[in-house]
Amino acid sequence: MNAAIASAPISEQLLTRFDVSGPRYTSYPTADRFVEAFSADDYTQALQQRRSGAAALALPLSLYVHIPFCESLCYYCACNKIITKHHDKAATYLRYLTREVELHTKLMGTGQSVSQLHLGGGSPTFLSDAELRELMAMLRRNFSFAAGGEYSIEVDPRTVDASRLDTLAELGFNRLSFGVQDFDPAVQKAVHRVQPAEQVFALVDAARARGFESINVDLIYGLPRQSPESFDRTLAQVNALRPDRIALYAYAHLPERFKPQRRIATVELPGAASKVSMLAHSLASFMGAGYVYVGMDHFALPDDSLAIAKRQGRLHRNFQGYSTQPDCDLIALGVSAIGRIGATYSQNAKTLEEYYDYLDQGRFPIVRGMAVTRDDLVRRAVIMALMCQGQLQFESINLAYLLDFKTYFAAELNTLRGLEEQGLVTLDDNGIQVTSQGWFFVRAVAMVFDRYLQIDRTRARFSKII
């Protein structure tokens, strides 16, 4: 199946047919289902249960640290960020991050094994070298970082030079993600993120020279002043840059929800047909250049660990997207960060004021979350199998959850018959197989098993599934 995925043609007509909105399934249930009734007390209980259970010994942790600060505003951005040139705010933030970590270690003990760390934002490279050293030293005092783990950081190319890359390598980061979005100067100006292509090429060359294991580049299609022709030029430049991984996202223009997007002139946005054309060209361009289509928005070179995990059926999915790391608990630190402990999800306060206030009280800054039900667990297993392996054996679910798949999911299997007729899946007595063509629309397949989405299709607002 994987070889077919790597070379399968995809038509603009099919892309247009599935140009609908849907969850990205970095979790199930999705974050829009979290409730405020889930409190810091519930989170404390989940941590206590982890410490007393076998999982604490068997499973390493994943850490996510949210650094919300940016020096300038990118108009397309829908992230939780704080625009400021006052770098003294970072010192205060680091003190509160330390308090939050200490609340965790008070319950769990120090030295818990960590196999995955991701610094996101905002712009983590807003922090100075000294502040990054302080942050990493604090984390290493409290956790034990496993050899061979994935330790990544999001990098704003405008805030980094070769000497800063030396610092990141020294601190143990082995993966970098550069926010590029588009190389076209007119598009960069329209979204208020000007960074010459030469600067990015020089940084990637410098990162390779320093031995970083994997370099990712983020791109966005559907931005103002983009056209299929202009984006073709960016695609050619990215192929010349040849990063280990590429993340390609569709821009969702929601100015009523995200204030920065109100600065984008709607008339400058490409139409739906142009967006579909850009996506089709991207798929053809990257796979023609030898990239493996890992799934959804992700591409990787064949020798990258993500592509290898895909081939070997070891792909996993968490709040950062596809991962090679096994399914594990995620401790999320910082304002608005989302984590998972056991059968619970939780999210921190979304403003600095509220985040600081909770920690001043000596409490976890949890403002919402949920404890998942047995039905949630069953459906999560099904959705993640489809999203990560592209196939599901009924027997595996029957044995793990003591149910009869065909009876439990009779309605869903009936719905899948329609997707089978369209060539996205094949069904037999033993299971479900996503086809090479269907892999490009795997979110549509997963959505069939989303009970919340079936109950209420109007509550959530999601990005387009392609």
Tell me 449's DSSP state.
T
Position 332: which residue type?
A
Residue 42: predicted pLDDT: 96
Q: Is pLDDT at 12 greater than 90 in this prediction? A: no
**Separation of alpha carbons 16 and 3, rounded Å:** 25
Q: Is pLDDT at 57 greater than 80 in this prediction? A: no
Residue that is written with structure tokens 């983009």 in the block: 226
Tens of pLDDT along 96-115? 999 999 999 999 999 999 99
Please state the pTM of the whole predicted model: 0.90
Residue 7: predicted pLDDT: 44
Report the percentage of the chain scoring pLDDT > 90: 76
Mean pLDDT of 147-155: 94
Q: Is pLDDT at 240 greater than 50 in this prediction? A: yes
Residue 9: predicted pLDDT: 55
**Separation of alpha carbons 402 and 37, rounded Å:** 30
Domains identified in the chain and CATH numbers: 1-29+374-466 (1.10.10.920), 32-330 (3.80.30.20)
**Separation of alpha carbons 408 and 263, rounded Å:** 48
Mean pLDDT of the chain: 91
Q: Is pLDDT at 378 greater than 50 in this prediction? A: yes
**Separation of alpha carbons 6 and 390, rounded Å:** 13
Residue 79: predicted pLDDT: 86
**Residue 194: Cβ within 10 Å count:** 12
Q: Report which of residues 17 and 442 the model is more confident about.
A: 442
Q: Is pLDDT at 119 greater than 60 in this prediction? A: yes
Residue 132: predicted pLDDT: 97
DSSP string, 117-130: EEEEES-GGGS-HH
Q: Is 117 left (phi over 0), alpha (psi -120 to 50) or beta?
A: beta
Q: Is pLDDT at 457 greater than 80 in this prediction? A: no
Q: What are phi and psi of 28, to 5 degrees?
A: -145, 125
Residue 5: predicted pLDDT: 41
Q: 111 with 25: CB under 8 angstroms?
A: no
Tens of pLDDT along 385-441? 999 989 999 999 999 999 999 999 999 999 999 999 999 999 999 999 999 888 888
Residue 203: predicted pLDDT: 96
Q: What are phi and psi of 76, to 5 degrees?
A: -80, -10
Maximum alpha-carbon separation in the chain: 62
**Separation of alpha carbons 365 and 361, rounded Å:** 10
Mean pLDDT of 135-145: 97
Q: What are phi and psi of 148, to 5 degrees?
A: 80, 10
Pull the structure tokens for residue 8. 């399968």
Residue 459: predicted pLDDT: 46
Q: Is pLDDT at 127 greater than 90 in this prediction? A: yes
Tens of pLDDT along 178-217? 999 999 999 999 999 999 999 999 999 999 999 999 999 9
User: Which region among 20-24, 55-59, 242-246 has the lowest average model confidence (pLDDT)?
Assistant: 55-59
**Separation of alpha carbons 77 and 64, rounded Å:** 20
* E strand residue ranges, 225-304: 245-250, 292-295, 298-300
Residue 441: predicted pLDDT: 87
What lies within 8 Å, CB to CB, of 53 at 6+ separation is 342
Q: Is pLDDT at 13 greater than 90 in this prediction? A: no
Query: How distant, in Å, are the alpha carbons of 281, 329, 388 from that of 60?
Result: 40, 8, 20
Helix (H, G, I), strand (E, B) or coil at 271: coil
pLDDT confidence band for 295 (50 / 70 / 90): confident
Q: Helical H runs in 129-184?
A: 129-142, 162-170
Distant-in-sequence contacts of 286-292, Cβ < 8 A, 24+ apart: 286/235, 286/238, 286/239, 286/246, 286/248, 287/6, 287/7, 289/239, 289/242, 291/246, 292/2, 292/5, 292/6
Helix (H, G, I), strand (E, B) or coil at 184: coil
**Separation of alpha carbons 231 and 252, rounded Å:** 17
**Residue 412: Cβ within 10 Å count:** 17
